[in-house]
A and B are shown apart, each in its own frame.
Chain A
Amino acid sequence: MHIIAKNLSLDYPLGSVKKSLLGKIFSGNVGGKIFTDETENTYIRALDSISFEFHPGDRVGIYGNNGSGKTTLLKVLAGIYPLSEGTLEMEGCVSSFLSMNLGMDPDLTGLENIIFRTRLLGMSQKQTETVIDCAANFSELGEYLDLPLRTYSNGMLTRLSFSLVTAFDPEILLMDEWLSVGDESFQEKAQIKLEEIFHSSSISVIVSHNPNMIKRLCNKIFKIEVGQLSIVDE
């Protein structure tokens, strides 16, 4: 099981974009470099020649500012965005849910939402029951699981979705800012849970804008800036 990337680049196509004068004068430092090719199509170089090797036991943390390419990198690893250049070799079963709230229906109850997720993953009745137990226990939502999601507060919603995404244990775990969730007591619990699944899944990759969090949890730390990855600590 491993993830190996060599000179991986990703150009995000924007179609034809008119650039304003203002944008040209104040070149910002948010996001990847924007460039236009000979056919007048504009792209963002979201990932710029990235190379790395992740092996079992690696708890990879990547931090960077808004628009630095964190989520794009995860989406490439998840197989959602195709590469523009370079190679990516992935071996192992990748976690499926990048977004915590994907497919959640406010008119279904908490329980129905859990079942919907497990069905999307093609789980058997028995596996579904395990997931339900796991998520119900961890979220501590109790009777609220039988109420529609629209009756939940934001905090309760994140409790549910966090409990749900962490109820599956894949070989390769990809996480996008799953850390800032819930109230204080839940945060503590969430941290412990994260550490637990970090150790149980073979390779975990987590991205966040918060370097402290990552430094505490991970043993392989990278910084991403304007689509370029640099190693901070190993």
Chain B
Amino acid sequence: MFHKQFKKSLFTLNIINKDFFNGLKLFYVWRVLAWADILQRYKRTVIGPFWGVITTALLLLFIGPVYSKLFGQNLTEYFPYVAVSYVIWNFFSTLVVEGANSLIISTDYIKNMAWPFSVYFYRCVLRNIFVLMHNFIVLVPLLFYFNLVSLQGILLFIVGLGLICTLGFAITIVLGILSLRYRDIPQLVTNLLNMLFFLTPVLWSVNMLGASSWMVQFNPVFHVLEVLRRPLLGGVPEIVSYCVIIISIFVLLSLGFYFFYKTKKELAFWA
């Protein structure tokens, strides 16, 4: 009995392992697809992906001064805070929305190529890393200007980015599979994220909540932001934030693999 159970779980692991590991080996495929996705967005423009950079720069240029007045904050503190927060919020929320669409936008390939499904999950995460890197063109000079760059910060940021990308990957698997079957989910996710933008300290900071600041601890996206923005702003994230992220990764990745194992045989038909 036990032996049978063990054999079955080994078989399950093998299916998951095969798809995700073989997908990883097809690095050249998802790299090409991810980059093509970005070029597609800005097709027939002269400066291409740099439009994304200009959008971010312009927005920050106006939001910074106006909201620092609105909230009665010191501009030298508020400006880098809101710049970093906004870029990271954009990175994460876009990753989640596009994660939900990861398989839907790939239906042509799913129905015509025998690639492992994980290729489309990797493609989604990598595409968003590319966009984040573009936005760093705005952030890096700003951080140097406000003298916030340190070796510790860079190292912590890299660790954080690794964690958040893994989390994003897990979310992509879960939402990607669910959305392929139930096409209402991407709409729902977009709506929830729009709402979360106002509930999460992106434009405002935690200390503005005063005595109620403990409330943000229950917002998981707050921890996502903290893990990435604190290092960039010259601080160290709280241990709580790392714990929340790691637990979320564990739960969501298990859930994602479970969904994948259960639906693998039908994914191609849902596409």
Q: A residues touching B (Cβ–Cβ < 8 Å)?
A: 12-13, 75, 78-82, 94, 96-99, 102-103, 105, 107, 116, 119-120, 122
Contact = CB atoms under 8 A, between A and B. Distances in A.
Contacts of B114: 78-80, 94, 96
A98 B43 CA distance: 27
Contacts of A80: 110-114, 268
Interface string B30-49: 00110010001001100000
Q: Is the interface of B mostly helix, strand, loop or mixed?
A: helix
Given A116-B36, A119-B32, A120-B32, A81 B113 contact: no
B116 to A, nearest CB: 10
Interface of A is mostly: loop
Nearest to B110: A80
Given A12-B269, A107-B43, A102 B32 contact: no
A75 B26 CA distance: 20
Given A107-B44, A122-B29, A81 B268 contact: yes
B269 A81 contact: yes
B40 A105 contact: yes
A118 B125 CA distance: 23
A80 B270 CA distance: 12
Interface string B215-226: 000000000000
B108 interface: yes
Determine the interface band of chain B, counting residues with CB < 8 A from chain A. Answer: 20 to 34
Contacts of A82: 264-265, 268
Contacts of B28: 119-120, 122
Question: Closest 9 interchain pairs by CB?
Answer: A79-B114, A99-B112, A122-B28, A107-B43, A119-B32, A82-B265, A102-B112, A98-B112, A13-B269
Given A80-B114, A120-B29, A103 B269 contact: no
B146 to A, nearest CB: 40
B71 interface: no
Interface string B188-220: 000000000000000000000000000000000
Given A80-B268, A82-B268, A107-B44, A116 B32 contact: yes
Contacts of A107: 40, 43-44
B109 A103 contact: yes
A8 to B, nearest CB: 15
B266 interface: yes
B109 A102 contact: yes
Contacts of A99: 108, 111-112
10 contacts: A12-B269, A13-B269, A78-B114, A80-B111, A80-B113, A99-B108, A99-B111, A102-B112, A103-B109, A116-B36
B249 to A, nearest CB: 29
Nearest to A176: B112
